[in-house]
Amino acid sequence: MKKATTRRCPGPGSVGDKEASGGSSVVDGKSSVPGTSSQRHFRLQTTQRYICCCDCLTHICRRKKELKARTVWLGCPEKCEEKYPKNTIKNQKYNIFTFVPGVLYQQFKFFLNLYFLVVACSQFVPALKIGYLYTYWAPLCFVLAVTVVREAVDEVRRYRRDKEMNSQLYSKLTVRGKIQVKSSDIQVGDLIIVEKDQRIPADMIFLRTSEKNGACFIRTDQLDGETDWKLKVAVACTQRLPAVGEELHNTCDLFSIKAYVYAQKPQLDIHSFEGNFTREDVDPQIHESLSIENTLWASTVVSSGTVIGVVIYTGKETRSVLNTSYAKNKVGLLDLELNRLTKGLFLAQVVLSVVMVALQGFMGPWYRNLFRFIVLFSYIIPISLRVNLDMGKSAYGWMITKDENIPGTVVRTSTIPEELGRVVYLLTDKTGTLTQNEMIFKRLHLGTVCYGTDTMDEIQSHIIQSYAQPTSQPSSGGGGGGTTPSCKTQSSAPKVRKSVSSRIHEAVKAIALCHNVTPVYECHGSVNGETESAEADQDFSDDNRTYQASSPDEVALVRWTESIGLTLVNRDLNSLQLKTPSGQILAFHILQIFPFTSENKRMGIIVREELTGDVTFYMKGADIAMASIVQYNDWLEEECGNMAREGLRTLVVAKKSLSEEQYQDFENRYSQAKLSIHDRTLKVAAVVESLERDMELLCLTGVEDQLQSDVRPTLELLRNAGIKIWMLTGDKLETATCIAKSSHLVSRNQDIHVFRPVSNRGEAHLELNAFRRKHDCALVISGDSLEVCLKYYEHEFVELACQCPAVVCCRCSPTQKAQIVRLLQQHTANRTCAIGDGGNDVSMIQAADCGIGIEGKEGKQASLAADFSITQFKHIGRLLMVHGRNSYKRSASLGQFVMHRGMIISAMQAVFSSIFYFASVPLYQGFLMVGYATIYTMFPVFSLVLDQDVKPEMALLYPELYKDLTKGRSLSFKTFFIWVLISVYQGGILMYGALLLFESEFVHVVAISFTALILTELLMVALTIRTWHYLMVVAELLSLGCYLASLAFLNAYFDLSFITTWPFVWKVSVITLVSCLPLYIIKYLKRKFSPPSYSKLSS
């Protein structure tokens, strides 16, 4: 809650009273009546208090709960100063009370459905009743029932998933021992035990672990999309506590101390945290700074050991929930366009009804006749439009899942398949989507010599030679004694030109030491009582060794050093061991680690070699960060550019030898900076930068991130289709740029404009002006700079970015990805498609008009949240070019034809009423109307979902065909107006023809006109079809057969003795021929003299 920030009510004697008492005050807009001073004071006080109370109430009603920093006592949730959110996961859209109103609102907020409801309700009024109730209510109830059942099934599934997550049991430590609690019952301040492979239920500070080294690994793929394990470190004070008993779960130690955690307020950034741990029951008090490495965020999974943490954030305040946007009800652009067209039809319907009443002369209760005419012409907007379109969408989804060329594709949202045919912007993730997230070491450059994959054996021979001794040494001790002095001699004389062998040795050693990688071994007898050395020997020779790190680049580098003979065999928080080609063990003590951040773009480590005591500072990072740190050279910039052009991720490696005095001075300053509460990050960075001067450049490495199969041809296909591709990634700028080049997202001859980091309005203005002068170049921008630009120059930035052939946004948070999608939707009004494979892509996928998830290494969270799920990125080409294109064109034809079917019968009704003295009497009643919309014409009309203008192979060969769809020409006011003219022409011909040819009885008019109407519809379907399918022929013949067979049972409408005569046959044939033949002639002439693009390809 906010502290008292509301306006304070002045009391007697306050400034407000003194000013008011100086003359006549204005209260409620009127001059106050002169009176005694006490009366004026009383009136003024009453008015001011009233205004103050209103302000307070308004402030309370509008205020959202403010997120605040907090002090959390270990194991004492009752000491919390405020009430924090419940630790529940909720993905449901409705509850038991809002389900029916919510679903009905979602349906009736569209004009089409609301119109049907009003018309159906009007039939309960006797004066307005036109036909049978079931002809209006049955179709409406069917549509609503299908929708409600579908929503109910989805809601039940969401409820069950939420209940399963919220009911997961966890062990909670209390003074009385260990108890089991549900995830939803966990509170801030609780001490929670999380076992290996168990999901972390809330945001916690890591207090203890069963691992001896005081650290554990967690998997964060469902939080940040990265598949690599992250190393987390327990708070040193609580990890050192003596355990009473053999189990970690024993509570005596944690409850025997009096300690609390100060945590910053909840925020979106999942990569940073600032806090302090304080223990009060000792003298002096113990203070420890807390950072991101001490946190366990919710939705991550413990991968090693058992951990205990104290909960600091729950429920909607956790990082994972703050970065999640809730799914919206997606409505396709085609549905919105049809909704607009139905509004136009309704307007035409009202105008037609007014004209009819006006021609009557507004006689009698004209308003009642007006409403009867509106109901009478209600078939202009047929309710079968919704039924046919929904069934069509389901058919398209079935076709997608059954396509053998894109196996494993799943349609999770069946309401928007047409959106796949209207995409203008494709926003894609990088890691795991465009790339396989598998790194391979490709290049080592020493300045004067460069080694590639075909010359790695030379490096291996140099390493073997540098660690070999003239005499064989079976023991590691002797080997260490012989090899290390030679290394020291080399490194202690930087002025002397070193041999290639010694430079290779130093570079490989630096790569093997400067990282955050930990070797992990399978459990093979490590619990027995053997000595440490025996265990080590057994583990080091184990073939099941795997490496874990927060960056796949680091794993690739360590695997490479292993392949050439220098192997990382053991690592904990304080030490690191390497094995040489001869089998000896080199031990190093880790003094400090400086992790990689997006700001510094480098990581460093200070180690002390146990045998010699030498202290060395190793550092590696991006070339732009390292260029000013290393000693002067003339090759680094050029070689970095060469590797980048090949699509390789580059890292510069350097070192610096430190004396013991230098290191001790640094350690004192570094420890003080880490305990600072204010500007801690800046102070720590300043101390570290004091070391980063005049470092010796060792080498430049190049690592390749392998692309997914067929990424390059797929991106080229999408570009040729007119789709603009934006890559949004959480990775660093250099990596994103490399992948953009190697995947040909940016062509080789295309310039790249890297948007310089900006932090304020002035810098953003200058950089935007510089970018404006560039033409036809790709844009690369970081998430921080993007945020500044959007804050001050949103419209200008989006306008410039949309002109670029490609855009790369790096260091994007999940929330920023979704924000970019929404910006494109708002500023361009074009359809967006987002594709990703990790939990960090869910917000972007849900925000896009069409979300596609890839089921890959990063789990199923993205594919489950998406509208469409595919197994490989290359499948998106066929999904858009073939299925998206066909779905849109088919639905456009189907929607317009169904409306034509309603307009033609309304035109016949208008002609009929105008001839028979403008009577509001229906032309066809009862079963004729139901049969017309169902068994007589439904199958041929619905068979349009099988129609296609070109074969799938042709659509993939000529992606330019896709460009036409984005302009919406298949369903526009122009095409719709053509269908209106066709309907009016055919309706007039059918009705006037029947009236001219009828023989004395009205029943003959109905028989002739209705039969001609059915035949006309069947012929119009044949006219509309572009590629015949055998099911289309079956549908035509089936409908015709059903109609002819039903004639025998429709005695109430047809005279059987008349319809079996020759006059009936020729009259119907003539009318049908006149209504359809001109349209066939026009279609033939148009295809001959102005053929569409697809017909040219077909021929």
Residues noted as catalytic:
429
Q: Residue ranges of the alpha helices (H) in 109-205?
A: 111-122, 134-166
Q: How far, in whole angstroms, is CA 183 from its chain's centroid?
A: 26
Helix and strand counts by DSSP (H, E) for the chain: 41, 35
Name residues whose C-beta falls within 8 Å of residue 644's C-beta, 6 or more positions apart in sequence.
650, 734, 737, 738, 741
Can you tell me the distance from the alpha carbon of 873 to that of 435, in angstroms, rounded to the nearest whole number? Answer: 9
Listing DSSP states for 405-445 in one string gives TSTT-EES-TT-GGGGGSEEEEEE-STTTTEEEEEEEEEEE
Listing DSSP states for 119-131 in one string gives HHHHTTSGGG--S
Would you call 542 helix, strand, or coil by DSSP?
A: coil
DSSP state of 884: I
Backbone angles phi, psi at 859, to 5 degrees: 95, -170
Tokens of 1054: 């047809």
DSSP state of 298: T
Can you tell me the distance from the alpha carbon of 102 to that of 115, in angstroms, rounded to the nearest whole number? Answer: 18
Can you tell me the distance from the alpha carbon of 884 to that of 833, in angstroms, rounded to the nearest whole number? Answer: 12
Burial tier of 574 (Cβ tally within 10 Å: 0-12, 13-18, 19+): exposed
* Pairing relationship of beta strands 518-520 and 410-411 according to DSSP bridges: unpaired
Left (φ > 0), alpha (ψ -120 to 50) or beta: where does 859 sit? left
Q: Which amino acid is at 186?
A: I
CA–CA distances in Å: residue 755 to residues 122, 222, 641, 801: 62, 30, 18, 11
DSSP state of 63: P
Can you tell me the distance from the alpha carbon of 155 to that of 36, in angstroms, rounded to the nearest whole number? Answer: 68
Bridge partner list, 411: 868
Can you tell me the distance from the alpha carbon of 517 to that of 528, in angstroms, rounded to the nearest whole number? Answer: 26
Listing DSSP states for 621-678 in one string gives E-HHHHTTTBPP-SSHHHHHHHHHHTTPEEEEEEEEEE-HHHHHHHHHHHHHHHT-SS
Q: Are 708 and 436 in contact (CB under 8 A)?
A: yes
Can you tell me the distance from the alpha carbon of 194 to that of 172, in angstroms, rounded to the nearest whole number? Answer: 9
Can you tell me the distance from the alpha carbon of 862 to that of 736, in angstroms, rounded to the nearest whole number? Answer: 21
Q: Which amino acid is at 303?
A: S
Q: Which amino acid is at 20?
A: A
Q: Are 944 and 1029 in contact (CB under 8 A)?
A: no
Backbone angles phi, psi at 700, to 5 degrees: -125, 130
Q: What is the dihedral of CA 266, 269, 274, 275, to 10 degrees?
A: 30
Output Rg (C-alpha) for the chain, integer angstroms: 38
Name residues whose C-beta falls within 8 Å of residue 221's C-beta, 6 or more positions apart in sequence.
227, 838, 839, 857, 858, 859
Among candidates 230, 252, 239, 220, which has minimal Cα distance to 308? 239
CA–CA distances in Å: residue 596 to residues 465, 679, 862, 1007: 33, 19, 27, 83
